[in-house]
Amino acid sequence: MSELEARLESWRAVQAWLAWQQRQAGQAIRALEAELAAEAARRPPPPPPDWKLESIRTGSGPKALRVHVGDCSMGGGKPISREEARRTLAEGVEPCPYCSPENLLGMTS
């Protein structure tokens, strides 16, 4: 075997070893990802916020549409505090007709 053939054979051995290492790393990553997913599935979901503000994006920024009770499934939105919910309703943003946050906030007329 010539010097060049020996060097080529050495590099092929390195390449094979690196491919094996890459497969080992891939298996380890997949196993850890599965373990993390199983751990996340066992964790209870975070509690819903007390209040939510549903909004839409406009050319001038977000526009408030409705205030919701936190566990209302009729509208998404960002979590807001009780005070923010009361203030937003007082400013004329409409309450959700399904969850009626104004009742829970004591703002019915």
**Which pLDDT value is given to residue 37?**
96
Indicate the burial class of 18 (C-beta count within 10 angstroms; 0-12, 13-18, 19 or more): exposed
Judge whether residue 33 has pLDDT over 90: yes
pLDDT, tens only, 39-51 = 999 999 888 899 9
The β-bridge partners of 13 are none
Q: Is the pLDDT of residue 108 over 90?
A: no
Of 99, 102, 79, which Cα lies nearest the Cα of 89? 102
